[in-house]
Amino acid sequence: MPSSLHVIGHQQPDTDTICSALAYARLKQAQGVDATPARAGEVNPETQFVLDRWDTESPSLLDDAAGEQLILVDHNEYSQAVSGAHDATIVEVVDHHRIGDIETSDPIYFRNEPVGSTATILTQLYEEANKTIDAQTAGLLLSGLLSDTVVLRSPTTTDQDRSIADHLADIAGVDIEKYGKELLQQKSKIGEKSPRE
């Protein structure tokens, strides 16, 4: 089987990881690159709420990345990556964390910025590529941004996050505080599941 190009976030995916995989795969497709969104684990309740709210299918589970081509979003260390990542080819990284242990043999696009979410950076990448963000994609990106920054209240929140959140909320047609509140209610449900479930 020939290798495919997957856009994938970290294990134990959060909303920023899933929404970034979806949004970046869409940007790649808009640029004529055959990339599919993937996930490295189960979708949590907050993220499921977001997917339902924006009428979007979950990325499919990639359980072994060996031999595949990967665009990593929202992480840049092997310990957090999908299983098999060591035997995959990392072709791009977009993230907002400390610089980890990814090394490559060829030059690749690696974009890490000290901002509140990967979604923030992806919004800029859409702009730099002159590609329109539709309402659905804006809703997903906004969800990743608001989830990671606790509705712009976390100490990691930058001015860039704030102005990009405004822009995304405009396109998505939601009110940041109102939608953020709904999201936080879902967040509080994470961990509520009993071990039996």
> What are the residues binding its own copies (CB under 8 A)?
90, 93, 96-114, 128
Q: Shortest gap between Cβ of 152 and its own copies (angstroms)?
A: 17
3-state secondary structure of 191: coil
Angle value at C-alpha 172, between 169 and 178, nearest 5 degrees: 55
Q: Shortest gap between Cβ of 44 and its own copies (angstroms)?
A: 23
176 binds, among its own copies, Mn ion, none (CB under 5 to 8 A by kind): none
Q: Count the alpha carbons within 13 Å of 123 in the hemisphere toward its beta carbon.
A: 29
Tell me how long the chain is: 197
Q: Which residue is nearest to Mn ion (CB)?
A: 16
17 binds, among Mn ion, its own copies, none (CB under 5 to 8 A by kind): Mn ion
How far is Cα 21 from Cα 8, in angstroms, rounded to an integer? 5
Q: Shortest gap between Cβ of 132 and its own copies (angstroms)?
A: 19
148 binds, among its own copies, Mn ion, none (CB under 5 to 8 A by kind): Mn ion
3-state secondary structure of 61: strand
